Chains A and B, each alone.
Chain A
Amino acid sequence: MRRAGVVMALAIVVTTAASAAAMTQSEVESRLACQCGCGLTVHTCDHLQCSFGVPVKDDIAAALAAGETGEAIIARYVAEYGEKVLSAPTREGFNLVAWLAPYMALTFGAILVLVAVRRMASGRGSNGPPAGEHSAAPAAVDPALRDRLRQELEELDR
Chain B
Amino acid sequence: MTTLGNLALVLALAATAWAVGASVYGALRRRTDFVASGEHAAWAAYGSVITATAVLVHALVTHDFSIKYVVSYSSTTLPLRYRVAALWGGMEGSLLFWVFILTTLFAVVLVQNRRRNRELMPWVTATVMTVACFFLALLVFMTPPFALLPFAATEGSDLNPLLQNYWMSIHPPSLYLGYVSWTIPFGFAIAALATGSLDDLWIRTTRRWVLMAWFFLSLGNLFGARWAYEVLGWGGYWAWDPVENAAFMPWLTGTAYLHSVMIQERKDMLKAWNMSLIILTFSLTIFGTFLTRSGVISSVHSFTQSGLGPFFMGFLAVVIAISATLVFMRREQLRPANQLDSVMSRESAFLFNNLLLVGIAFATFWGTIFPVISEWVRGVKITVGPPFFNQVNAPLGVALLLLMGIGPLIAWRRATLANLRSAFLAPVLFSLATGLVAAFVLPAVYGSLSLSALVVVSIAAFVLHTIAAEFHSGARARGRMVGESYAAALLNLIRKNQRRYGGYVVHLGVVLIFIGITMSSVYRVEEMHSVAPGQSFTVGRYQLAYRGIEDASDRHMMRLVASLAVTADGDELGELRPEKRFYRRPEQPATEVAFRSTLREDLYVILGAADDEQNATFQVYVNPMVSWLWLGGVILVLGTGLAIMPWPRVSGARVLDSTRAAAESGKGSETGA
Q: How many residues of B contact A (CB 8 A)?
A: 74
Q: Name the interface residues of B351-380: CB closer than 8 Å to any CB of A.
A: 351-352, 354-356, 358-359, 362-363, 366-367, 370, 374, 377-378, 380
Asked whether B385 lies within 8 Å of A33 as measured between CB atoms, the reply is: yes
Asked whether A127 lies within 8 Å of B370 as measured between CB atoms, the reply is: no
A153 at the interface (CB under 8 A from B): yes
Asked whether B381 lies within 8 Å of A113 as measured between CB atoms, the reply is: no
Which residue of the partner chain, among A94, A117, A152, contacts B378 with CB atoms under 8 Å?
A94
Asked whether A122 lies within 8 Å of B339 as measured between CB atoms, the reply is: yes
Asked whether B391 lies within 8 Å of A117 as measured between CB atoms, the reply is: no
Asked whether A113 lies within 8 Å of B351 as measured between CB atoms, the reply is: yes
Chain B neighbourhood of A99, CB < 8 A: 388, 392
0/1 string, B381-394, CB within 8 A of A gives 1: 11111111001100
User: Smallest CB-CB separation from A148: which chain B residue?
Assistant: B661
Asked whether A134 lies within 8 Å of B665 as measured between CB atoms, the reply is: no
Question: How far is A81 from B36 in the complex, measured between Cα atoms in Å?
Answer: 62
A85 at the interface (CB under 8 A from B): yes
Instruction: Indicate whether A38 sits within 8 Å of B374 (C-beta atoms), given known contacts A105-B359, A125-B335, A128-B339.
Output: no
Total inter-chain residue pairs, C-beta < 8 Å? 189
Chain A neighbourhood of B339, CB < 8 A: 120-123, 126, 128, 131, 134
CB distance from B530 to the nearest CB of A (A): 12
0/1 string, B335-357, CB within 8 A of A gives 1: 11111111100001001101110
Asked whether A156 lies within 8 Å of B477 as measured between CB atoms, the reply is: yes
0/1 string, B464-507, CB within 8 A of A gives 1: 00000000011001001100000000000000000000000000
Asked whether A153 lies within 8 Å of B367 as measured between CB atoms, the reply is: no
Which residue of the partner chain, among B302, B341, B661, contacts A149 with CB atoms under 8 Å?
B661
CB distance from A88 to the nearest CB of B (A): 4
**Which among A47, A94, A98 has the greatest number of chain B C-beta atoms within 10 A?**
A98
A87 at the interface (CB under 8 A from B): yes
Instruction: Indicate whether A109 sits within 8 Å of B473 (C-beta atoms), given known contacts A39-B298, A87-B387.
Output: no
User: Smallest CB-CB separation from A98: which chain B residue?
Assistant: B370
Chain B neighbourhood of A103, CB < 8 A: 392
Question: How far is A110 from B608 in the complex, measured between Cα atoms in Å?
Answer: 49
Chain B neighbourhood of A83, CB < 8 A: 380-383
Asked whether B269 lies within 8 Å of A120 as measured between CB atoms, the reply is: yes
Asked whether B241 lies within 8 Å of A152 as measured between CB atoms, the reply is: no
B597 at the interface (CB under 8 A from A): no
B112 at the interface (CB under 8 A from A): no
Which residue of the partner chain, among B358, B411, B477, B667, contacts A109 with CB atoms under 8 Å?
B358
CB distance from B352 to the nearest CB of A (A): 6
Question: How far is A99 from B382 in the complex, measured between Cα atoms in Å?
Answer: 14
Question: How far is A49 from B268 in the complex, measured between Cα atoms in Å?
Answer: 59
0/1 string, A83-123, CB within 8 A of B gives 1: 11111110000110111011101100110010011101111
B662 at the interface (CB under 8 A from A): yes
A143 at the interface (CB under 8 A from B): no
Instruction: Indicate whether A94 sits within 8 Å of B396 (C-beta atoms), given known contacts A88-B391, A120-B340, A121-B342.
Output: no
A82 at the interface (CB under 8 A from B): yes
Question: How far is A125 from B335 in the complex, measured between Cα atoms in Å?
Answer: 7
Asked whether B378 lies within 8 Å of A126 as measured between CB atoms, the reply is: no
Asked whether A106 lies within 8 Å of B422 as measured between CB atoms, the reply is: no
CB distance from A135 to the nearest CB of B (A): 7
A80 at the interface (CB under 8 A from B): no
CB distance from B588 to the nearest CB of A (A): 13
Asked whether A89 lies within 8 Å of B374 as measured between CB atoms, the reply is: yes
Question: How far is A45 from B129 in the complex, measured between Cα atoms in Å?
Answer: 43
User: Smallest CB-CB separation from A157: which chain B residue?
Assistant: B419
Chain B neighbourhood of A149, CB < 8 A: 661, 664-665
A67 at the interface (CB under 8 A from B): no
Asked whether B298 lies within 8 Å of A37 as measured between CB atoms, the reply is: yes
Asked whether A47 lies within 8 Å of B351 as measured between CB atoms, the reply is: no
Asked whether B477 lies within 8 Å of A86 as measured between CB atoms, the reply is: no
- Where the two chains meet, the residues of A that have a C-beta atom closer than 8 Å to any C-beta of B are 15, 30-31, 33, 37-41, 44-49, 82-89, 94-95, 97-99, 101-103, 105-106, 109-110, 113, 116-118, 120-123, 125-129, 131, 134-135, 149, 152-153, 155-158
24 residue pairs from A and B, CB less than 8 Å apart: A15-B391, A37-B300, A38-B234, A38-B235, A39-B298, A41-B386, A41-B387, A44-B235, A86-B382, A88-B387, A95-B374, A98-B374, A102-B363, A105-B363, A106-B362, A106-B363, A106-B396, A113-B351, A117-B343, A121-B341, A126-B336, A126-B337, A153-B661, A157-B473
